[in-house]
Amino acid sequence: MPKRGKKYLESKKKMDSGKSVDFSDAVKMSIESSYTKFDETVDVVVRLGVDPRHAEQMVRGTLVLPNGLGKEVKVLVFAKGEKEKEALDAGADFVGNDEMIEKIKSGWFGFDKAVSTPDMMGTVGKIGKMLGPRGLMPNAKTGTVTFDIARAVRELKAGKIDFRVEKAGIVHAPMGKVSFGVEKIVQNISAFLETIVRLKPAASKGTYLKGIGVSTTMGPGIKIEPASIKDLIK
């Protein structure tokens, strides 16, 4: 077990992290537990009643958070011709084709998200082994392989997230910054959980939302009472 710092332990003492609490209270407690000098990210973790080993129980999706992520997202677009101008007009930070491929091959990764037009994917695929492990590979399922470049860039800049359930049935995602305050974080988490519920696989039987937790980057996890979110999910 990793050794915890003094500030973490002091923060953990202020709450009973082994007990599930009301949704809004959990968010408030998590934000109040923040002790770092930087603006921590608030993360949510959901344990689902699915078995991702079976394709029909895979849960994967995207979502533009109502209040964004609270950070600047640097977007790289692989495109040619008029699509390069479209990307720049939409706010892309980096745009190019072959020269960008070579730049990445040399070790440059100064971006957070990548978008590509379909006609560029044959070339982008050559650096797939470099982009994939970093979660930077454009993918049609997440809307980052498209000819509608302007929309893709605007959504990423606005705080679009993509998520996928892991082998243990866990899905997690960032929900914004501590400085957002309770209300905005609650709104983001509510939108995220609504999306998760909407994506429930027909093959999933029994309890679907088996556990929910919230935490800040450096803070302890706080369990949310699943029953407390029913009124928040439409």
Please tell me the predicted confidence (pLDDT) of residue 132: 94
Per residue in 53-100, pLDDT tens?
A: 999 999 999 999 999 999 899 999 999 999 999 999 999 999 999 999
**Whether pLDDT at 163 is above 90:** yes
DSSP state of 208: S
pLDDT tens, position by position, 191-232: 999 999 999 999 988 889 999 999 998 888 899 877 777 666
Average pLDDT, the chain: 89
Per-residue pLDDT band for 5 (boundaries 50, 70, 90) equals low
Q: Where are the domains of the chain?
A: 6-69+160-229, 75-158
Q: CA-based Rg of the chain, rounded to a whole angstrom?
A: 19
CATH tag, 6-69+160-229: 3.30.190.20
pLDDT of residue 91: 97
pLDDT at residue 9 tops 50: no
Is the pLDDT assigned to residue 102 strictly greater than 80?
yes
Q: Among the residues of the chain, which ranges form H helices?
A: 6-13, 23-32, 82-90, 98-105, 121-124, 128-131, 149-158, 182-198
- Dist. CA 107–CA 39, nearest whole Å: 29
DSSP symbol at 219: S
**Angstrom distance (rounded) from CA 13 to CA 4:** 12
Query: How would CATH label the architecture of 75-158?
Result: 3-Layer(aba) Sandwich (3.40)
